[in-house]
């Protein structure tokens, strides 16, 4: 995607909504010699659901970590509602809710205890936080497990607790990294509708995912990252038009794939069956 | 279990691999021990004392660092899905553990082996045999702890295994310390340069069996030494064999049941009541939300996290063992009363040392967890005072664990000395413990449960705690000052309190500067 196209897209977004919820300014992060994120520039207005896509290792999670203050950028910065996350992290973090990709939580706690802990960290009144947490857990269908230690929870149950934690303090901006991981179809549907509803109320959602059909359905805008760089930015239809492809999946593949997918599948298949090495696994 | 670590550059510094630093610590401790005993006049006395120390340290290291490796519900994930037999897997685990025991035992005993080779007749041969016997002794000590775990897994109901193993753990530390204190007690009656008389007690003291084996190599091949050596080899073979076979066949099934029981755990009503009560304690002791969050998180983990409990509870066995020994030997004399006779074993000081030593168990354990990746929440939350998280966790340790334990010691000590003397003595020890806790937290400056469990961290810190032996100089000096003149004594106590406050302030500054640069790299 050329600079002119990007500028045009940014201008059109700015026209739609004059206030910017999330802004990345030349965001760079290196780990030793490896540059995980290279000069990412983005402006996401209020009320927008922005899909952030990329192959494994493209730098999506690193971007989220920088934007939420978990790690510091090597250079550049992220602004949350105009507040610099590097300069004023506490002020900025008050406006953010995060669901991380790892799905990690303190499993020896019960969901209620975990959400009470998160409430403490966001300086919420304890009883109010617990009450709200109870409501969230009931709505997600895990109210009966609210006093169970989370060690034996499935990924989906943990994800419900994490989403509840992200929403507990009613943030303006949500950073969701694979939020549907492990969720059953019904809960996934509820979450997708909930995100639309929240966006209609003016909340901004930064949505990282590999599930392209979900992104296609719920996101107003899609940003594609490859090797730490933004390679495409626009609405789903814009991206399809730009790549002359019929689906977002095909557009994504064209923009990020580094080989012939059919050839890779064939080589894999032959390796699994042993034909590639002259070994017949059938024996 | 894997103690390897890449040499990673962190903020421009090269991190020394933990295994190397741990071995260096053991080599230094072993070297100091060998030098301190160089005047002993016969190989039996020398080897008896060095073997006692080596066996004690090996057993404690296995308890503190590797216990969770021996029986781990996490193994279910591997055993359930992969075509590995239970016995093969368990043997591989134990062999892996014994490999690390061999490394630490070599580092610990090599200096003493050199001293034996140079000091006594027999030269290289005696040094070599010393090394073989030392390794055998350390293997036996490690195997004994493994055996204790496997027996517990067999005996106790799976639901109660977590609780049972914690008490087994504490008892093991208690018994080991008690046995360890007995040996130097026998020597310190008189000059260190004399030899220990071999009485009938040698048949009941395992280190003496191995020492008998070493004596064979310096030409003292009498029937008793021969029998002791045979006893040493036979016991080591039996214990190691039992450790390998006790539960190896049913390990897979036992672990599956253990893992299954952990997934069904529900918080009981009494636990909820208790939680509410301690939450109230947090409100009293903590000044802000961050401190309360650290306090409450740690409170729950101390009750429910098996690994954390296993690493912390043995700490209480150490001072209790010394107390029991002091009570039996009459060595717990009044610190404000007349001075004890010259050459009396300093039980009171040893009790103080172990009270300070206890903080080592807490300092690193409260920052480590297998669930450390969940600490992302501390980095993404708008915390004005990240330091408060660790401060809250430390307050929980101090007011929920250390303070009540010192109160228990006050009751116990009041059987041996006037209550006022016991209270004053324990107050000084408590302040010293807080100082040590602050210093050790400076060496482990992380948020609660935010680091992966690094199996060599406590062992490396053991080197630091040895330096805290200096704290005992404070204890003795203050006791002496108090005995000589009350005013001077109270000024000394006041100075100690000031010093402890300063160490707490220094800790908070160190944490603040450290946490300001911290990133979540999970």
The interface pTM score, or ipTM, of the predicted complex is: 0.89
Euclidean distance between CA atoms B136 and B236, whole angstroms: 7
Residues of A in contact with B368 (CB under 8 A): none
Chain B window 354-373: which residues touch A at a Cβ cutoff of 8 Å?
369, 371, 373
With 50 as the cut, is the pLDDT of residue B10 above it? Answer: no
Phi and psi (nearest 5°) for B189?
-55, -40
DSSP 8-state symbol, B339:
P
For residue range A135-152, what is the model confidence (pLDDT) as tens digits?
A: 999 999 999 999 888 988
**DSSP-derived pairing of the beta strands A20-31 and A75-80:** antiparallel
Percent of chain A whose pLDDT exceeds 70: 91
**Top-tier CATH class for A3-95+171-277:** alpha beta
- For B294, which residue in chain A has the nearest alpha carbon? A117
pLDDT at residue B34 in the model: 85
Q: Can you tell me the mean pLDDT for B147-151?
A: 81
| A208, A238 Cβ separation under 8 angstroms | no
pLDDT at residue B471 in the model: 62
Residues of A in contact with B13 (CB under 8 A): none
| A39, A68 Cβ separation under 8 angstroms | no
Give the DSSP H/E element, type plus range, for residue B112. Answer: helix B86-119
Residues of B in contact with A122 (CB under 8 A): 381-382
8 Å CB contact of A70 and B382: no
Residues of B in contact with A102 (CB under 8 A): 373, 376, 522
Among A253-257, B400-404, B481-485, name the one with the lowest average pLDDT: B481-485
Residues of A in contact with B376 (CB under 8 A): 70, 98, 100, 102, 104
For residue range A208-227, what is the model confidence (pLDDT) as tens digits?
A: 998 898 999 999 999 999 99
B75 touches chain A (CB under 8 A): no
Percent of chain B whose pLDDT exceeds 90: 23
Q: pLDDT tier at B141 (50, 70, 90 boundaries)? A: very high
- For A95, which residue in chain B has the nearest alpha carbon? B382
Nearest of A139, A156, A138, A149 to residue A111 by alpha carbon:
A149
Per the model's pLDDT, the better-predicted residue between B518 and B219 turns out to be B518
Euclidean distance between CA atoms B146 and B150, whole angstroms: 6
Nearest of A41, A23, A39, A40 to residue A84 by alpha carbon:
A23
Q: pLDDT tier at B186 (50, 70, 90 boundaries)? A: low
8 Å CB contact of A108 and B379: no
Which residue ranges make up each domain of chain A?
3-95+171-277
With 70 as the cut, is the pLDDT of residue A5 above it? Answer: no
Q: Which residues of B69-102 are buried (b: 16+ CB within 10 A; e: fewer)?
A: bbbbbebbeebeeeeeebbebbeebbeebbebbe
Euclidean distance between CA atoms B10 and A270, whole angstroms: 43
With 90 as the cut, is the pLDDT of residue A95 above it? Answer: yes
Euclidean distance between CA atoms B366 and B284, whole angstroms: 21
For residue range B292-331, what is the model confidence (pLDDT) as tens digits?
A: 999 999 999 988 887 788 788 888 888 888 888 888 777 7
Among B107-116, B215-224, B393-402, B509-518, name the one with the lowest average pLDDT: B215-224
With 90 as the cut, is the pLDDT of residue B340 above it? Answer: no
DSSP bridge pairs for A52: A208, A223
Q: pLDDT tier at B475 (50, 70, 90 boundaries)? A: low
- Highest average pLDDT, of A29-33, B336-340, B361-365, comes from A29-33
Among partner residues A71, A106, A147, which is closest to B266 by beta-carbon distance?
A147
For residue range B36-58, what is the model confidence (pLDDT) as tens digits?
A: 777 777 778 888 888 988 898 88
Among A64-78, A147-161, B100-114, B241-255, name the one with the lowest average pLDDT: B241-255
8 Å CB contact of B371 and A104: yes
Residues of A in contact with B296 (CB under 8 A): 113, 116-117, 120
8 Å CB contact of A108 and B300: yes
With 80 as the cut, is the pLDDT of residue B336 above it? Answer: no
- Highest average pLDDT, of B141-150, B351-360, B496-505, comes from B496-505
Give the mutation candidate from A101, A103, A120, A129 for the B interface (greatest B CB count, under 10 A): A120
Residues of B in contact with A94 (CB under 8 A): 382
8 Å CB contact of B290 and A121: yes
Among partner residues A102, A106, A116, which is closest to B449 by beta-carbon distance?
A106
Among A81-95, B360-374, B384-398, B445-459, name the one with the lowest average pLDDT: B445-459
pLDDT at residue B177 in the model: 74
């Amino acid at each position: 995607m050329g600079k002119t196209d990007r500028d045009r897209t940014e201008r059109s977004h700015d026209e739609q909504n004059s206030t910017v919820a999330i802004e990345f300014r030349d965001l760079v992060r290196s780990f030793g010699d490896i540059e995980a994120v290279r000069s990412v520039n983005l402006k996401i207005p209020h009320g927008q659901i922005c899909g952030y896509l990329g192959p494994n290792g493209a730098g999506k999670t690193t971007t989220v970590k920088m934007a939420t203050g978990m790690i510091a950028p090597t250079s550049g910065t992220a602004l949350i509602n105009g507040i610099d996350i590097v300069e004023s992290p506490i002020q900025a973090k008050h406006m953010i809710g995060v669901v991380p990709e790892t799905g990690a939580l303190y499993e020896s706690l019960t969901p209620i205890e975990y959400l009470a802990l998160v409430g403490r960290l966001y300086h919420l009144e304890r009883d109010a936080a617990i009450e709200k947490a109870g409501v969230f857990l009931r709505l997600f269908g895990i109210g009966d497990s609210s006093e169970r230690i989370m060690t034996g929870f499935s990924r989906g149950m943990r994800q419900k607790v994490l989403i509840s934690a992200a929403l507990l303090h009613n943030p303006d901006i949500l950073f969701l990294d694979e939020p549907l991981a492990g969720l059953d179809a019904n809960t996934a549907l509820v979450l997708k509708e909930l995100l639309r509803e929240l966006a209609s109320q003016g909340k901004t959602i930064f949505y990282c995912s590999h599930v392209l059909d979900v992104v296609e359905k719920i996101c107003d805008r899609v940003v594609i990252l490859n090797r730490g760089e933004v390679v495409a930015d626009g609405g789903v239809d814009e991206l399809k038009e730009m790549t002359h492809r019929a689906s977002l999946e095909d557009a994504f593949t064209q923009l990020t794939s580094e080989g012939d997918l059919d050839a890779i599948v064939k080589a894999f298949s032959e390796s699994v069956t042993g034909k590639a090495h002259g070994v017949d696994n059938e024996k | 279990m894997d103690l390897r670590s890449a040499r990673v550059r962190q903020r421009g510094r090269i991190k020394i691999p933990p295994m190397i630093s741990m071995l260096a610590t053991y080599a230094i401790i072993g070297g100091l021990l060998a030098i301190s005993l160089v005047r002993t006049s016969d190989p039996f006395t020398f080897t008896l004392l060095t073997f006692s120390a080596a066996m004690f340290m090996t057993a404690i290291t296995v308890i503190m660092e590797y216990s969770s490796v021996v029986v781990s519900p996490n193994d279910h994930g591997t055993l359930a899905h992969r075509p590995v037999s239970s016995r093969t897997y368990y043997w591989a685990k134990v062999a892996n553990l014994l490999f690390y025991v061999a490394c630490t035992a070599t580092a610990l005993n090599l200096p003493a082996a050199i001293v034996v080779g140079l000091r006594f007749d027999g030269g290289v041969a005696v040094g070599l045999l010393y090394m073989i016997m030392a390794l055998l002794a350390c293997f036996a000590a490690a195997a004994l702890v493994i055996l204790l775990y496997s027996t517990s897994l067999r005996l106790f109901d799976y639901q109660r295994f977590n609780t049972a193993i914690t008490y087994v753990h504490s008892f093991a530390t208690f018994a080991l310390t008690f046995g360890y204190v007995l040996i130097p007690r026998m020597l310190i009656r008189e000059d260190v340069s004399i030899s220990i008389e071999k009485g009938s007690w040698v048949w009941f003291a395992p280190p003496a069996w191995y020492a008998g084996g070493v004596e064979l190599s310096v030409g003292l091949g009498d029937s008793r030494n021969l029998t002791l050596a045979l006893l040493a080899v036979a016991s080591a073979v039996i214990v190691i064999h039992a450790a390998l076979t006790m539960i190896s066949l049913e390990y897979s099934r036992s672990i599956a049941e253990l893992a299954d029981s952990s997934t069904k755990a529900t918080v009981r009503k009494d636990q909820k009541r208790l939680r509410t009560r301690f939450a109230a304690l947090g409100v009293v002791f903590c000044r802000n939300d961050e401190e309360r969050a650290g306090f409450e998180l740690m409170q729950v983990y101390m009750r429910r996290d098996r690994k954390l409990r296993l690493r912390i509870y043995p700490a209480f066995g150490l001072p209790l063992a010394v107390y029991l020994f002091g009570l039996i030997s009459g060595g717990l004399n009044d610190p404000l009363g007349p001075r004890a006779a010259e050459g009396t074993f300093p039980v009171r000081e040893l009790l103080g040392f172990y009270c300070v030593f206890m903080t080592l168990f807490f300092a690193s354990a409260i920052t480590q967890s297998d669930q450390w990746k969940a600490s992302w929440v501390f980095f993404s939350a708008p915390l004005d005072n990240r330091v408060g998280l660790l401060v809250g966790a430390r307050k929980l340790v101090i007011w929920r664990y250390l303070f009540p334990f010192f109160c228990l010691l006050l009751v116990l000590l009041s059987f041996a000395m006037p209550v006022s003397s016991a209270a004053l003595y324990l107050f000084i020890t408590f302040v010293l413990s807080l100082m040590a806790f602050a210093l050790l937290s400076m060496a482990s400056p992380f948020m609660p449960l935010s680091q992966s469990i690094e199996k060599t961290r406590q062992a490396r810190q053991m080197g630091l705690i040895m330096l805290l032996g200096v704290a005992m100089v404070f204890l003795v000096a203050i006791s002496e000052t108090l005995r000589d003149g009350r005013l001077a004594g109270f000024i000394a106590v006041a100075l100690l309190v000031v010093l402890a406050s300063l160490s707490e302030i220094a800790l908070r500054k160190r944490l603040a500067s450290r946490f300001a640069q911290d990133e979540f790299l999970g």
